[in-house]
């Protein structure tokens, strides 16, 4: 059996741990297996650049951040672009899949990776997707590896910032990753005892936020607010995409936390500060939870390959590993339900969501 | 509304975080609420020792290990013991429940705590249980707070020991907490890349284990084996409880890891060592996952109190908080299914379970 | 004996641990001691706002980030500003020192705090300074508490970023705190295996840096560069302060890492990214080293108070605690010697310093 | 230039970081350098088993615990034992040193390693020792790599145990590594806020200890005592080595913490528990401090090799790297001075040392 595997899209804690779980299962349970690790994501498949993976390659990578295969971003939209007579990127990959006589291609990636995987599947390649994202926004799975590591890093950072906010009696707006969905901000915010949590799914009202801050500062020395990159005001939420883009350009293109800090400095008498957590949230060693989950997901993906269950992506549903049909989930997004149990309970404990 | 709350049984990361989530919900959502925090577990209820909790008491305890209320172990079997004319402990508690005019008693504890809570419920007290255990063995809930923190600590310790095992070409038996169930050992073992995992649910065979070690040492420099306190050999598993006790006394009462290290020193040519992780696994600051889970569980417990849903214990099922009837789950144990998905997948990656 | 104590300037890990060590010594060794903790730094002394500290106040704060007394920034230059007939801030503090019949005032702070402490000393107050800074730039002491915690946080962040840089074959410029001195960047950079380290004390040359990056990218998949906030090019270093300010305004006021990332994107063919670590470096729980050092420094400061050694600041020299005369060290800065042993050894291992 | 290098004795965090610093310096600064890494400590030199190290071998090992060369314990006393006509181990090593035409042999190890290195030096080999020990007991150096990592692990464990002790109102005796010296116990104990610290250098009196515990339990809910493995009572301290051995055998060979817990259970009314931290203290990733120190020490060792300064061991004195003559320091031990500044200051803050 000849298996291709690649990691695609942004870095995510647990990629190597999944590779390890996958390969260990294969070497242990599948006769005469060959595993080709394509380098730099889909680029490796396009350019037929790969290395054959051995047990020694994956023995010691459970704890190692990043991906031993390298990764790159290959925008989905460019996959089928024709330039003159040259084959499209998609055609190149399908050709190589055939030339290399792959039985199956396994792709570790997020939403974009899954869309491309879905295209390959439609073109007749046997594909299995393994969902990777710190955003936790992949449709049809309860959780993805990398998410809890990012939660843990962001919560720890928020906790450090609280002590500084307390020392100086300040209001802090802390930007957490998450452009379209607020899972990471929500989880990290709750885990760090944030006073308010602003996410794209629940637009905030500036005046209500100012009133909340004023009230809270009567009770404690500081206010710490976890803000998703893509958080937006009620006003912005009512705009069209284009209007919003123009509006943000006018606002100087500054991050939402900066805009909030200056708005709240104007509307309240408190020192407001902003900080961006940035890249530290998506790299490095996975947490214990993700090492376990990654190992399981890798092994389960290998099991699907073994039994020939293709055109699917692995998922976790109700604490069991299973799979979804790739074409069903590609292009869909799992967003935080604004009336879900977690958000409602958090509101009831006094966490403010900006609405 | 007058609510009593207590923490009972062994220490567990997240107790304070649950108290905080519970109180914050109450202060925020329930009119004229009074919360009496009984001191030192059920002992506080027996002796009417408590402090009235205020918002300030719980504001800054999300990260703090232990319990601000104190705890004690009150064996369930002694609850109904009569000594002369003195009231039983159970009677004392029921009396105080009435004297203090409690509307509901909330108990944070493990299996034993739940059995006592069940007795109180049968006696007519309104009781809500919040499941606490690093063992993850409470029946009817997918997960309990404290468990993932313990996994994280144990996995980190196993990882440190691996480097020493590698440096010296050794076989290491590492005792993880878990007398009756192997959840903690299983999760920490997988997360730390243990070569073998021995848990009470899957008895091991010494000769097979020796053969596994010999084979593994051909492939790598060390073998690290995660062993639950209560792991036992096939021979022991076939004994009656009494026979087993006698057998262990004869073996000098030494921990299973010590016995395994000397058995494997005899059966293999390798340096075998044992170490016991001990108390570090059950104390200290909760991990981010548990801070979130504890906050949710506390808030949901408060919600049940608010709506008068008594005689129950909070559970997490399929990622949603819910509840079980106390009398249904008291006395039952959730064990690792030896043919469950996780164990089978782990076996397929080459982790040895001793059978 | 009546002692006043305050924490002043920016937040720093270990402030509470110093307070604890100081108070424990006093309560244990000085008869009839009273300790007044002034609130919000020098502001508390100006406004006579304080709380009397008890053993219980400091028992559990060894691990707690921030300062239980609060802090504020009181620019040294404003201390002696006269507005009409109102007393200066300095006079208000001297008055209150006398009115409260203090025997000594203990100030925990950095360079600015020490300058003000020196003024108070000149005015006849008995003052003892305890040096606090994550920058490690206080003259006359080998190390200050808070520094090693900041090193540890920054090094951990750099390590996470390395895996992302490796995964994507990128060049990363990571901004570490340090406007005037490079100690934190130097230590964190070396501890994290940074390829290059740019600090204010050693101006960089853009072309040489580009050449270094190009050479390094032949050998490995990524380049990670630790950059102090105040790092500057040879060109900037040759400017007067005013010229430099104008130059930076013209450059759009963007952080040095952003400017470096775009300069190197232009001069090399690699993807260059920048990220700013920000506030997480100065808050939160101290590391073990700083808990020890803070306890010692606090206790030694109390010892100086006990024996009446005033007008001094505590220092660590050659692994022993001692003291410097306040007026000797106020206003002086300890910079990284560009030809010191550490820098030279680091260069010899191949770390690039930009010159 | 042909350099041999080996790691010997027990595992210690930072070994790989030193190897990396050493090799990087050599590859960067010494022309035509060859580095032979002997496998499994001195055994590799005896058996001429080594691998030639390349830049790629050491690029990514800064964070990796253990030693990529392997290690073993080779008791110093057996080095010169003659068995029939066979050469002694020492002779074998000297022969191989010559056959392999080494210019210098670099040994990373502790006290025992240094004694053997000293023998080799006397036999005419060029030797440079790099001091490694978590015990910090090497004579003539202020600090050794690995020590602060061990402090940090032990302090973190002690902190976790405090919350459990607090929750249950218990007295905890926690065994920290250190058979002959108490540095690790002292530093970790202070950093963790231990109430008492028992080390070999300061024998304890059981009755005074019981009185201290009784007094302390009036003030707080728990007592946590950091106990070095080799801590002993005044009675034991007065015995000859042989008497002490017999005494301990009579006591059942149980660890000092177990003996203390049962003695204090008898002499006080409190629940006393003991726990042993064990192997977790000496393995795994180094802390940031040790990554820096290891890099420096490795580089400085390479510098000494380059300039031909042999028969020495690297040391840190007053924050500068330097060296001692091997034969001067071999066989000597750096113990905690019972009247040193740190011990005296700690006593003054109320920490009890058992005397």
pLDDT tens for D37-81 read 999 999 999 999 999 999 999 999 999 999 999 999 988 889 999
Model confidence pLDDT, tens digit, residues A114-173: 999 999 999 999 999 999 999 999 999 999 999 999 999 999 999 999 999 999 999 999
- Which residue of chain C has the CA closest to A286? C160
Chain D residues contacting B, CB < 8 Å?
A: 7, 10-11, 15, 40, 64-67, 70-72, 153, 157, 159-164, 166-169, 172, 221, 273, 275-280, 282-284
Q: List the chains bordering chain C where 3 or more Cβ pairs fall under 8 Å.
A: A, D
Nearest by CB: B167 against D11, D166, D168: D11
Least confident of A240-244, A346-350, D185-189: A240-244
Burial class (CB in 10 A: 0-12, 13-18, 19+), B150: buried
Mutate to test the interface with B, among A196, A216, A349, A350 (most CBs of B within 10 A): A349
- Give the per-residue pLDDT at B204: 97
Q: Mean pLDDT, to the nearest integer, of C75-99?
A: 93
Model confidence pLDDT, tens digit, residues A169-216: 999 999 999 999 999 999 999 999 999 999 999 999 999 999 999 999
Q: To the nearest whole number, what is the mean pLDDT of chain D?
A: 96
Judge contact between C101 and C316, C-beta under 8 A: no
- Give the per-residue pLDDT at C251: 84
Judge contact between B98 and B83, C-beta under 8 A: no
- Which residue of chain B has the CA closest to A143? B319
Least confident of B11-15, B82-86, B218-222: B82-86
Q: Mean pLDDT, to the nearest integer, of D206-216?
A: 97
Helices marked H in C201-340 = 206-219, 234-237, 241-250, 256-267, 288-307, 326-329
**Rounded distance between C-alpha atoms, residue C123 and residue C53, angstroms:** 26
Judge contact between C117 and C326, C-beta under 8 A: yes
**Rounded distance between C-alpha atoms, residue B260 and residue B268, angstroms:** 12
Burial class (CB in 10 A: 0-12, 13-18, 19+), C95: middle
Residues of chain B contacting residue D40, judged by C-beta atoms under 8 Å apart: 169
Instruction: Tell me how close the Cα of A74 comes to any Cα of chain B, in angstroms.
Output: 31
pTM exceeds 0.90, yes or no: yes
Model confidence pLDDT, tens digit, residues C246-283: 998 988 889 999 999 999 999 999 999 999 999 999 99
Q: What are phi and psi of B36, to 5 degrees?
A: -95, 120
> Residue C238: pLDDT above 90?
yes
The catalytic residue among A11, A57, A135, A195 is A135
Q: Which residue has the tokens 């800064």?
A: D62
**Rounded distance between C-alpha atoms, residue D199 and residue D233, angstroms:** 10
Residues of chain D contacting residue C186, judged by C-beta atoms under 8 Å apart: none
- Give the per-residue pLDDT at C330: 86
Q: To the nearest whole number, what is the mean pLDDT of chain B?
A: 96
Nearest by CB: B283 against D163, D169, D283: D163
**Rounded distance between C-alpha atoms, residue A112 and residue A109, angstroms:** 7
Query: Among residues B295, B337, B305, which one has the least CA distance to residue B137?
Result: B337
Cβ contact (<8 Å) for A349 and B289?
no
Q: Strands, E, within chain C: which ranges?
A: 2-7, 34-38, 50-52, 104-109, 127-131, 170-176, 196-198, 223-228, 271-276, 312-317, 320-325
Q: List the chains bordering chain A where 3 or more Cβ pairs fall under 8 Å.
A: B, C
Cβ contact (<8 Å) for C289 and D289?
yes
**Rounded distance between C-alpha atoms, residue C152 and residue B226, angstroms:** 30
Instruction: Tell me how close the Cα of B121 comes to any Cα of chain A, in angstroms.
Output: 26
Percent of chain A topping pLDDT 90? 94
- Which residue of chain C has the CA closest to D159? C63
Model confidence pLDDT, tens digit, residues D146-168: 999 999 999 999 999 999 999 99
- Which residue of chain D has the CA closest to C58? D193
Instruction: Tell me how close the Cα of C265 comes to any Cα of chain D, in angstroms.
Output: 25
Q: How confident is the model at residue A252 (pLDDT cuts 50, 70, 90)?
A: confident
Q: Which residue has the tokens 């660890």?
A: D255
Cβ contact (<8 Å) for D287 and C152?
yes
Percent of chain C topping pLDDT 70? 100
Instruction: Tell me how close the Cα of D167 comes to any Cα of chain B, in angstroms.
Output: 5
Name, in order, each residue with C-beta under 8 angstroms of B158's C-beta and a sequence gap of 6 or more.
B174, B188, B189, B192, B194, B224, B226
> Residue A21: pLDDT above 90?
yes
- Give the per-residue pLDDT at D132: 95
- What ipTM was assigned to the predicted interfaces of this complex? 0.96
Mutate to test the interface with C, among A18, A113, A167 (most CBs of C within 10 A): A167
Instruction: Tell me how close the Cα of B341 comes to any Cα of chain D, in angstroms.
Output: 31
**Rounded distance between C-alpha atoms, residue C198 and residue C182, angstroms:** 8
Q: How confident is the model at residue D10 (pLDDT cuts 50, 70, 90)?
A: very high
């Amino acid at each position: 059996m000849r298996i291709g595997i690649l990691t695609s899209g942004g870095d995510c804690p647990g990629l190597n741990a999944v590779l390890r779980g996958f390969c260990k299962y294969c070497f242990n349970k599948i006769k005469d297996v060959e595993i080709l690790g394509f380098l730099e994501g889909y680029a490796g498949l396009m350019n037929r650049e790969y290395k054959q993976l051995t047990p020694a390659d994956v023995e010691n990578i459970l704890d190692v951040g990043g991906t031993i295969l390298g990764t790159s971003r290959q925008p989905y939209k460019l996959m089928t672009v024709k330039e003159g007579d040259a084959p499209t990127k998609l055609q190149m990959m399908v050709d190589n899949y055939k030339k290399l006589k792959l039985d199956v291609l396994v792709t570790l990636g997020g939403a974009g990776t899954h869309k491309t995987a879905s295209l390959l599947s439609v073109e007749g390649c046997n594909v299995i997707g393994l969902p990777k994202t710190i955003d936790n926004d992949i449709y049809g799975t309860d959780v993805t590896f990398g998410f809890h590591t990012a939660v843990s890093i962001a919560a720890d950072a928020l906790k450090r910032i609280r002590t500084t906010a307390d020392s100086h009696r300040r209001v802090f707006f802390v930007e957490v990753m998450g452009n379209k969905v607020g899972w990471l901000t929500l989880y990290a915010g709750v885990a760090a005892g944030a006073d308010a949590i602003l996410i794209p799914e629940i637009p905030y009202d500036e005046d209500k936020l100012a009133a909340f801050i004023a009230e809270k500062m009567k009770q404690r020395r500081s206010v710490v607010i976890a803000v998703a990159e893509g958080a937006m005001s009620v006003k912005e939420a009512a705009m069209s995409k284009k209007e919003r883009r123009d509006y943000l350009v006018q606002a100087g293109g500054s991050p939402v936390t900066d805009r909030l800090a200056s708005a709240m400095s104007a509307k309240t008498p408190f020192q407001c500060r902003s900080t961006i957590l940035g890249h530290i949230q998506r790299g490095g060693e996975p947490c214990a939870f993700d090492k376990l989950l990654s190992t399981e997901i890798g092994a389960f993906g290998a099991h699907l390959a073994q039994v020939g269950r293709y055109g699917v992506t692995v998922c976790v549903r109700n604490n069991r590993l299973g799979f979804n049909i790739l074409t069903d989930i590609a292009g869909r997004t799992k967003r935080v339900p604004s009336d879900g149990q977690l958000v409602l309970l958090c509101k009831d404990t006094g966490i403010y969501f900006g609405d």
